[in-house]
Amino acid sequence: MTALARSAHDLLVRLGVPPSSLEPASPGGGLVSRSPIDGQPLATVAAATPADATAAVAAAHAAFAAWRMVPAPRRGELVRLLGEELRAHKDDLAALVTLEAGKVVSEGLGEVQEMIDICDFAVGLSRQLCGLTIATERREHRMMETWHPLGVVAIISAFNFPVAVWAWNAALALVCGDPIVWKPSEKTPLTALATHALLGRALARFGDAPAGLAQLVVGGADAGAALVDDPRVALVSATGSTAMGRAVAPRLAARFARALLELGGNNGAIVCPSADVDLTVRAVAFAAMGTAGQRCTTLRRLFVHDEVYDALVPRLVRAYASVAVGDPRAPGTLVGPLIDARAADAMAAALAEARAAGGVVHGGEVVAVPGCDGGRYVRPALVELPGQVGPMLRETFAPILYVVRYRDLDEAIALHNATSHGLSSSIFTRDLGEAERFLSASGSDCGIANVNLGPSGAEIGGAFGGEKDTGGGRESGSDSWRAYMRRATNTINYGRALPLAQGVKFDVG
């Protein structure tokens, strides 16, 4: 057992994961979790089959009959207890995120804090699941809408936020009265086991939740497909690539199930002549290099006005050359490893294509990290391109920032919107008119549009999601809870007459 594997084992034990969970069901039949820090195995986990996924849905569906009748504030108590468990075990769970997903220490801690924050949000929400009273044209009638639990919610999550995105969905689904079935990324099964163990502690403290309320299915694509196709699953919330979304959406539509899709993002930012250059450098550096470029909201395209290009871009080039790349556990490291060799190969291929298109590449070289020989460490790359061409029009899940000059804001907005994704966006300006134009209907076409900050780092209070090839789903805050419930419009006649709407007459007798 390597030192990292031993550390992971110790963390899992402290988080309440039974050692038996790390035993494969049969020789060669398990999922191997590898740390991106050194590429070595951390543990082997039994892989669920499609039959296991079906059984998990059956258990959750049986729990739905009881859970939907529990008062919403009482359901909120379960989520409050989950938040307490996360607070008590924040450091250990964050350390496991670092080991299995490769995030630097502060980002691992930040991800668990995001889980805590969404629990707080959902607890308050449990007393605010309210509909409208609607004006009616009929005398002595009252019209209103009510919201009811929807049913089993399947959560399919990705490696880059291995636990936070589950929490966005799980916290809201549970307070809305829905059982949950979670299929985590095959690359991060250990963080899922640990999180599920913490939820198990919360359930034990809660005391009377129905059996089967929360299920974990650690398996491959075939297990995920079983969740997508099961008619008892009312909503599938899936985070991943646009290709995954295109495969999932038609199957859900075929059975009229709900889809909440959080897919890719080729996010852009516009830098105007009035931009605060110091602020812009800091914001762009984090947005483009944070999480080693492996966020769906990572900044990948930067449009810089001619007047500020020569002041801004050389400073960014220096930042890229000096940023600390290395073991994510080491103090001072800002950029950790890519998740695996496939990600590193995709980055190298995109940079080669950019060079062939006339791009000037700064950075992008492999970085040797002592003691982490099997990890894929690459210096983030800044690429100056003559125009928005080639790989700039596609999402590469790696720390590559493409930079293009522009002369007119209309031109910049057109370039910004000329990609298939529509997740997150930014403008850097001190001109109120430019800011408002970017946020208007004729500005950014993304689900998230920011002014004087980068496109990444969303808070849980706002709805998260995007348009076009990003899938159109919304998770986390605002009124995203409505996706997890069904709406009924109710009209009550408390009089003796029977007036019909629109003045229709139908008198009998």
> Would you say 239 and 65 are in contact if contact means Cβ atoms under 8 Å apart?
no
No. of helices (H) and no. of strands (E), the chain: 14, 21
> One-letter amino acid identity for 75?
R
- Are the C-beta atoms of 359 and 391 separated by less than 8 Å? no
- The β-bridge partners of 405 are 304
State whether residue 238 is helix, strand or coil. Answer: strand
Beta bridge partners of 149: 485
Which among 424, 427, 425, 354 has a CA at the least distance from the CA of 392? 354
Question: In whole angstroms, what is the distance from residue 222 CA to residue 292 CA?
Answer: 29
| Cα–Cα distance for residue pair 227/221, rounded to 1 Å | 10
Catalytic residue among 176, 272, 296, 446: 296
> Is 296 marked active-site?
yes
The answer to whether 102 touches 292, Cβ cutoff 8 Å, is yes
Catalytic site includes residue 459: no
Q: How far apart are CA 473 and CA 482, in angstroms?
A: 12
Buried b (16+ CB within 10 A) or exposed e, 147-182: bebbbbbbbbbbbbbbbbbbbbbbbbbbbbbbbbbb
Q: Specify the residue for token string 């999180």.
A: 195
Kindly name the residue from 77, 262, 395, 475 that is annotated as catalytic.
262
Catalytic residue numbers?
Answer: 262, 296
